[in-house]
Amino acid sequence: MRKFLFFLLLTITAGVTYAQGTAQDSAWIRENYFKLEQYIPMRDGVKLFTTLYIPKDTTEKHPILMTRTPYSCAPYGAEKWRNYYTSYLRYYLREGYIMVTQDVRGRWMSEGQFVDVRPFIKDKKAGDIKDSARNIDESTDTYDAIDWLVKNVPHNNGRVGVFGTSYPGFYSTMAAASAHPALKAVSPQAPVTDWFMGDDFHHNGAFFVMDAWAFYSSFGKPRPQPTTVGPTGFDYYTKDNYKWYLETGALKNILTLTGDSIAFWKDLYQHPNRDGWWQARNARVALHDIKPAMLVVGGLYDAEDCFGAWNVYKALKAQSPATNSHIVMGPWYHGQWASLDGTHLGNVQWGSNTSWWYENNIEIPFFNYYLKGKGADPNLAAATIFFTGANQWKTFDQWPPKQSQDQPMYLQPDGGLAWTAPTCKNSASEYISDPAHPVPYTQDVHFNRTREYMDDDQRFASRRTDVLTFQTPVLTEDLTLAGPVIADLKVSLSSTDADFVVKVIDVFPDDFSYTAPSALPVRGHDNPAGYPMGGYQMLVHAEIMRGRFRESFEKPVPFTPGKVETVKWAVPDIAHTFKKGHRLMIQIQSTWFPLADRNPQKFVDIYTADDSDFQKETIRVFHDAEHPSRIILPVLK
């Protein structure tokens, strides 16, 4: 449902032209390729199902481009072909690539036992290589697959690339750690990296229950034997997800819905803190002494794995500084860089087709050079980043840029924001956080989590009494942020635990409108011009922090009621220009529902808490001389 490499057919406005083009591409691919389905043996004897699309041309040798996935090599059967022609991937076939997709161990038609985000084994033991507990991980499976391919596929040129988005992005990271000499280029795209700190399942320890349950209630069902039939989803009694999660109640009630069948869901509940079990599932532990060229790709507005892209790149630079590593971050939802349309997200427009630009100027030249030796060295910048607001690409020789300087902006008693610290005494803003009436993450009534919430209008939240709003005066010059934003709040609680959400928001002028609106359809509207953009409060980025982890993610501690304490955490990296005439706004709240699970607002194990444990709480955020709450902004000079 959520994580696939292919996302978008052409929009209705260009349907006829593209239909003709895809028909030609489909016919050309079948005329120039053949399909092979093959079981590839691993070192412990387990065989992994693999599909190969191989050029018929034997006048030259061809590179191999592989994706390893838990989401299926479908369609299965020698006469059933993958629809490469509906995406930009058709250009790889035009370039003569051998295209390979492999079902990972224990999924779909592959043999073996599946393990979620299987831990990387840094020190593999000598001796019996068939001892999978000591020697088998996703890097060894990738090594064995590559080794078989270069030795057995005719007319390959001995050069292999690996890429994949989301969970396949995790397998791409593990491929980079395989150290096979034929592996020359790898592109982890929105890679699952750390499911406790920032991807999919948790953010700073707060459980992203809606994404987790929607995904794992089907994906997590056991598959004892190889199969071509996918799992069924969960049958909800309502299509209003806010209503369903609120009425279902405490997390323990959701656990009862799984029965005994979904093992990983039970594992989540058994590891509420970032213990050794979670630390072993941090993909960054594999990123030492990486040999292939690396192209990390992600979306600034990726609701699922924005954390993974930024942090895989940062880990590469810190742990493997000699590696030829690059990052590209565009204004994209999850996987939008691989789509046909990168012109907008929701109501906000980017001024160009950013996906097309990336595909043709970054990814295809990257693989062509390293796998085919075609073209000049792409000489990519260390960081190629699209800055929203300004709507332009910028390149840097490091990220965050050395031109960025951290500057604190302080909350003010009157709901203002200023570069100067407050001088008053005993000043705080307070709100009552009520788990029975949590702040919704979007104003929409819907079933599936939206991807557009990442830049949605926040005016609905500004109108709530349990959301604090602070904003600057109208900006007299552009303000560009490049890097992580640090929330540094001084707070007190009436109880012993709470969550905190900080949103960074761009407030548009009251008379703002797009002068040349796109004709593309947008969720809830005929086109972007159909939504009132004057005064739009664009979410630039937001992040939640589970307060109990403010000192340690391994050893949570309660708050002392009435005591002023510091809660400090990072909002994932921002690349945005607040234009002259706009305002910068900060919102603070304690629920973000049902995106994140509700905190009972007392220090109990949230995974085993009863419905009766949830309680209202008074939260105070201070902004005085003794307790100055601030937002540290990475200002690009």
What pTM does this model have?
Answer: 0.94
SS3 for 601?
coil
Using the Cα atoms of residue 123, residue 126, residue 129 and residue 133 in order, give the sign of their dihedral. negative
d(CA 39, CA 145): 10
Q: Are residues 389 and 332 in the same domain?
A: yes
Q: Are residues 312 and 409 in the same domain?
A: no
Q: Tell me, what's the pLDDT at 313?
A: 98
Q: Are residues 415 and 512 in the same domain?
A: yes
Instruction: Please answer whether residues 53 and 98 qualify as being in contact, where contact means their C-beta atoms are separated by less than 8 angstroms.
Output: yes
Q: Tell me, what's the pLDDT at 133?
A: 59
Q: Looking at residue 611, which CATH number applies to its domain? A: 2.60.120.260
d(CA 386, CA 392): 6
The answer to whether residue 201 sits within a structural domain is no
Q: Are residues 383 and 408 in the same domain?
A: no
- For residue 146, what is the DSSP state? H
The answer to whether residue 605 sits within a structural domain is yes
The answer to whether residue 152 sits within a structural domain is yes
Using the Cα atoms of residue 393, residue 396, residue 398 and residue 400 in order, give the sign of their dihedral. negative
d(CA 41, CA 49): 9
Q: Residue 433: beta bridge partners?
A: 617
Q: Mean of the pLDDT values across residues 279-289? A: 97
Q: Tell me, what's the pLDDT at 21?
A: 57
Q: What is the mean pLDDT of the chain?
A: 93
d(CA 315, CA 66): 23
Q: Looking at residue 117, which CATH number applies to its domain? A: 3.40.50.1820
The answer to whether residue 274 sits within a structural domain is no
Q: Are residues 439 and 389 in the same domain?
A: no
d(CA 141, CA 174): 9
Phi first, then psi: what are they for 115, rounded to 5°?
Answer: -130, 125
Question: Is the pLDDT score of 516 beyond 80?
Answer: no
The answer to whether residue 215 sits within a structural domain is no
Which of residues 337, 371, 396 is at a domain's end? 396
Q: Are residues 291 and 159 in the same domain?
A: yes
The pair of structure tokens assigned to 217 is 């209630």
Q: Tell me, what's the pLDDT at 126?
A: 56
Q: Are residues 359 and 432 in the same domain?
A: no
pLDDT digits (tens, 9 = 90+) for 366-395: 999 999 999 888 889 999 999 999 999 999
What's the structural domain count of the chain? 2
> What's the angle, vertex CA 259, arms to CA 257 and CA 260, rounded to 5?
150
Q: Give residue 469's domain range.
A: 404-636
CB atoms within 10 A of CB 366: 23
Q: Mean of the pLDDT values across residues 538-566? A: 98
Q: Confidence class of residue 261 from pLDDT cuts 50, 70 and 90?
A: confident
The answer to whether residue 24 sits within a structural domain is yes
Q: Are residues 482 and 360 in the same domain?
A: no
Which of residues 344, 367, 396 is at a domain's end? 396
The 3-class secondary structure across 486-553, one letter per residue, is EEEEEEEECCCCCEEEEEEEEECCCCCCCCCCCCCCECCECCHHHCCCCCCEEEEEEEEEEHHHCCCC
- For residue 623, what is the DSSP state? B
pLDDT digits (tens, 9 = 90+) for 566-610: 999 999 999 999 999 999 999 999 999 999 999 999 999 999 999
Q: Tell me, what's the pLDDT at 130?
A: 58
Phi first, then psi: what are they for 213, rounded to 5°?
Answer: -70, -45
Q: Are residues 436 and 336 in the same domain?
A: no
Q: Tell me, what's the pLDDT at 123?
A: 85
Question: Is the pLDDT score of 527 beyond 60?
Answer: no
The answer to whether residue 49 sits within a structural domain is yes
pLDDT digits (tens, 9 = 90+) for 11-48: 222 333 334 456 668 899 999 999 999 999 999 999 99
Q: Confidence class of residue 7 from pLDDT cuts 50, 70 and 90?
A: very low
pLDDT digits (tens, 9 = 90+) for 305-320: 999 999 999 999 999 9
Question: Is the pLDDT score of 99 beyond 80?
Answer: yes
pLDDT digits (tens, 9 = 90+) for 350-363: 999 999 999 999 99
Q: Tell me, what's the pLDDT at 378?
A: 82
Q: Mean of the pLDDT values across residues 95-123? A: 97
The answer to whether residue 493 sits within a structural domain is yes
d(CA 244, CA 604): 23
Q: Are residues 390 and 410 in the same domain?
A: no
Question: Is the pLDDT score of 229 beyond 60?
Answer: yes
Q: Residue 506: beta bridge partners?
A: 538, 584
CB atoms within 10 A of CB 254: 19
Which of residues 368, 396, 424 is at a domain's end? 396
Q: Are residues 325 and 291 in the same domain?
A: yes
Q: Are residues 492 and 555 in the same domain?
A: yes
Question: Is the pLDDT score of 132 beyond 90?
Answer: no
